[in-house]
Amino acid sequence: MLFKNKQKNPYQFALITCSLIGITSYLIFLLLGSASILGSFLIFLISFVIIQYRIQIFLFNRFRELYQDLEILDSLKINKSSISTDMDSLMENIEEFAKNKKIEIESLKSQEQYRKEFIGNVAHELKTPIFTIQGYISNLLDGAMDDKVLLDKYLNRTDNSVERLIYIIKDLDLITQLESSTMNLNISSFNVVSLISDIFDQLEIKSREKNIKLFFDKEYDKEILVKADKERIEQVIINLLVNSINYGIENGSTEVSISSLTKDKLIVRATDNGDGIDEEHLPRLFERFYRVDVSRSRSHGGSGLGLAIVKHIIDAHNENIYINSELGVGSELSFTLQKGSKRK
């Protein structure tokens, strides 16, 4: 039982208190010889002091047990002066304790649910390419190997599945490093305009497959320096643009803009004219393996960790990332960066 009664019970308390009052009254009558107003007053005064003191001690001992049990449960250090014998104060403390515990329990439930979802998603993402590889190899062993057309077809699909597995494992490793803060950022000043232009070139073939145009909102004649980890910011921009290509519409476009936000910050925006995302999905968009349209997402490949990695990289730079989207209109993903300066 949590709250053990180690102190005297109420009957013992009452018996000892009455005995003390009785002995005191007897001594007063002996001293004064008979009942008098003074004697009555002294009996009342001394009885009041004895009862008050005894009640205080009784309640203190009882409440001390309660506080000590709360101390064990909550890992708090409670000193003698913090123990109150006031019932209102005690109720406030207990209600505060219960409220904090309720919040902790809800948080643990949420974390447990998130853990279950994450494990389920990892298992599913790994299971799909593994089963695909297993199926193609089984077919080859059953005789398809003798058919050159089927052999080439199955080997190519097996190769794609292996690449997807490697992609997922690399992204899982990266996001684990980011979450555990074991990755060191190589901070330097670099020209973000030049970096984005290079990424446009890298993604030219991929964007042409859906005839999606990647372009700046205007011509940037001068270099714009930022202070960050160039390799990681490159990964952020690639992930955002690949995401806009994968989920963009045929003959669509993705516009990238760079503008000053404050004296020390600038903001990079990637705006597309795709299908847009329903508002209910926006709060969870940066969660690992979260997909708005599961069937459509898996048809584009990827690990399902792209935006989660983007969020972690931006957080590691102590910067902010934002998303605005409207169904049928398109989406805008933006993030802040610290302004850089030329080396002297």
335 in the same domain as 264: yes
CATH number at residue 156: 1.10.287.130
pLDDT mean over 65-86: 53
Full domain range(s) for residue 60: 10-85
CATH number at residue 296: 3.30.565.10
Q: What's the pLDDT score for residue 224?
A: 93
Helix axes 10-32, 37-74, angle to 10 degrees: 160
- The 3-class SS string of 270-335 reads EEECCCCCCHHHHHHCCCCCCCCCHHHHHHCCCCCCHHHHHHHHHHHCCCCEEEEEECCCEEEEEE
Task: Look at residues 26, 296, 196 and name the one whose alpha carbon lies nearest to residue 304.
Answer: 296
**Is the pLDDT assigned to residue 111 strictly greater than 80?**
no
334 in the same domain as 212: yes
Confidence of residue 259 (pLDDT cuts 50, 70, 90): very high
> Which percentage of the chain shows pLDDT scores above 70?
67
153 within some domain: yes
Q: Is the dihedral of CA 159, 161, 167, 172 positive or negative?
A: negative
36 within some domain: yes
Alpha-carbon span 337 to 314, nearest angstrom: 9
100 within some domain: no
Alpha-carbon span 48 to 42, nearest angstrom: 10
C-alpha dist (Å) from residue 11 to 17, 58, 62, 104, 264: 10, 12, 14, 40, 74
First to last CA, the chain: 72
CB 312 within 8 A of CB 300: no
268 in the same domain as 158: no
CB atoms within 10 A of CB 122: 16
256 in the same domain as 130: no
314 in the same domain as 195: yes
Decide which of 138, 162, 179 is a domain's last residue: 179
The model carries a pTM of 0.59
334 in the same domain as 236: yes
Q: What is the largest CA-CA distance in the chain?
A: 127
288 within some domain: yes
Q: Which tokens go with 120?
A: 């389920």
298 in the same domain as 278: yes
257 within some domain: yes
Confidence of residue 164 (pLDDT cuts 50, 70, 90): confident
- The torsion angles phi and psi of 207, rounded to 5 degrees, stand at -70, -30
244 in the same domain as 210: yes
Average pLDDT over all residues of the chain? 77
In tens, the pLDDT along 293-322 reads 655 544 555 566 778 888 989 998 999 999
Q: Is 176 helix (H, G, I), strand (E, B) or coil?
A: helix
263 in the same domain as 211: yes
Q: How many domains does the chain have?
A: 3
pLDDT mean over 33-56: 65
Strand bridging mode 321-326 / 253-260: unpaired
Strand bridging mode 213-216 / 253-260: parallel
